[in-house]
Structure 1
Amino acid sequence: MIRFSDFDTRDYPTVDVATGYGRWADTYEQTVEDIMDLGLLDRLPRPDWPAVRRAADLGCGTGRTGAWLRSRGVGSVDGVDLTPEMLALAEEKGAHDRLLRADATDTGLKSGAYDLAIASLIDEHLPALGPLYAEASRLVRPGGSFVIAAFHPQFIISSGMPTHFTEATGESVAITTNVHLVSDHIKAGLGNGWSLTHMDEGVIDDAWIATKPKWERFRSVPISAVYVWENREGQEG
């Protein structure tokens, strides 16, 4: 297992996920760039979003992903998140049919009830990927899909930068960050009955550098990745 501490160049004070996102919630959408994850979703040739009747949004945060899904014609979206402050913002956005406070790896949602499970920018907070892929497999009907947008391990390693936010005082605070290799995703997916049908990667390009000029030194480094899986088997639970 690769430890983020081996690459950390910031040495920020670090808090757990619920604490961090609770304190970040009010400014989260002003600091996270859509090209990180939603831009990758826009490029996917599958799944057929309007054909998705019901989706589970794992780690739904402020509701960004849920709103994107509804704008693409997804019929119904249920969301779960650990952080009450993020869930409150998602409720204001109004894209979800149901919102529950729960762990993305243990949602309490009904087995086999969804055409799609989706998770965006949460994997780096998980110590292991297997439980997330297993929960998605439990939730999604046979033939359904799991889409996961993730921080690219190459960027985390190259930059030494944890997921972090800036307090009102100006202090930077990190949220517990883990490094998961591409092969970790592949093993977790295949090990839980998924078949990989598409993958894409986003790199630091002109659009990124226009937003973050200091990132010129990371030009052409992969920053995010998206995986599209099909549920070969399904699980009962």
Structure 2
Amino acid sequence: MSRFSDFDTRGYRTVDVRTGYGAWAAGYEDTVPDVMDLALLDELAVPDWPSVRRAADLGCGTGRTGVWLRGVGVEAADGVDLTPQMLARARAKGVHDRLVEADVAATGLPGGAYGLVICSLIDEHLADLRPLYREAARLAEPGALFVLVVFHPHFIMMSGMPTHFTAADGEPVAITTHVHQLSDHVAAGLGAGWQLAELREGLVDDRWVAVKPKWERYRGHPVSAALVWRKGVDAS
């Protein structure tokens, strides 16, 4: 696995996930554009969203993904996040049936209970992807999908940019960031019994430049990716 420190061009002070997202919670939705993740979900061809009776929303954060899921017809969702401040904002939206403060690799949710497991923009905070893929497999019913939106490793390595936010005093602060190649996801997914059904990469395009004009220099580079996995009917 590549180390982010080998590519870091910012040198920001770095904090752990719970500390970072606790401080970022109030401004998170103002600084993460929909083109990063929700636009990719919109473009996926494999998931039949309205057919999902119940979803597990891992790393649910402020509830952005939960709101999107309800908007495309997902009947019900349970959310899991490590950060109380993010969960409080998700709770205020009222789109999850249940919200749990827990690690995404050990959620405490019931096994085999979900037709969809989904997570967005959390993989770069995990030192090892395998526990996430195993937990998703435990949660999923046979034939269920596991959908991930990830911070593209190419962009992290090319830009040297960690996941970061601006603190109240104006200081840019990084949250612990790891680099996972797409092949790392494939290995973790296959190792947990998943079958890859779809992969899409989101490039810096006109939508991105409209939000971040300085990113014109990154035009054409992949900044995020979405993977869709299917659980075989015989998988445990």
Q: Indicate whether the TM-score tops 0.5.
A: yes
Partner residue of 1:77? 77
Partner residue of 2:235? 234
Partner residue of 2:65? 65
By how many angstroms is 1:77 displaced? 0.2
Flag structure 2 segments of 5+ consecutive residues without an equivalent: none
By how many angstroms is 1:234 displaced? 3.4
Partner residue of 1:18? 18
Q: Whole-Å Cα distance in 1 between the matches of residues 225 and 216 of structure 2? A: 20
- State yes or no: 1:188 paired with 2:173: no
Cα contact 1:141–1:234 (8 A) shared by 2: no
Aligned amino acid, residue 230 of structure 1 = R
Which TM-score applies when normalising by structure 1? 0.98
Instruction: State the SS of the aligned residue for 2:224.
Output: strand
Q: Whole-Å Cα distance in 1 between the matches of residues 235 and 119 of structure 2? A: 18
Deviation track 1:87-138 (CA, whole Å, cap 9, x = no partner) reads 0000001110000000011000000000010000000000011110000000
Aligned pair count reads 235
Flag structure 1 segments of 5+ consecutive residues without an equivalent: none
By how many angstroms is 1:210 displaced? 1.6
Deviation track 1:174-198 (CA, whole Å, cap 9, x = no partner) reads 0000000010010001010000011
Partner residue of 1:146? 146
Partner residue of 2:6? 6
Q: Whole-Å Cα distance in 2 between the matches of residues 137 and 127 of structure 1? A: 19
Deviation track 1:51-85 (CA, whole Å, cap 9, x = no partner) reads 00000000000000011001111111000000000
Partner residue of 2:28? 28
- State yes or no: 1:43 paired with 2:54: no
Cα contact 1:140–1:234 (8 A) shared by 2: no
Q: Whole-Å Cα distance in 1 between the matches of residues 144 and 206 of structure 2? A: 35
- State yes or no: 1:97 paired with 2:94: no
Aligned amino acid, residue 192 of structure 2 = N
Partner residue of 1:200? 200
Q: Whole-Å Cα distance in 1 between the matches of residues 67 and 211 of structure 2? A: 23
Q: Whole-Å Cα distance in 1 between the matches of residues 54 and 31 of structure 2? A: 29
Partner residue of 1:117? 117
Instruction: State the SS of the aligned residue for 1:227.
Output: strand
Q: Whole-Å Cα distance in 2 between the matches of residues 103 and 198 of structure 1? A: 26
Partner residue of 1:161? 161
Runs of 4+ in 1 over 2 A off after TM superposition: none
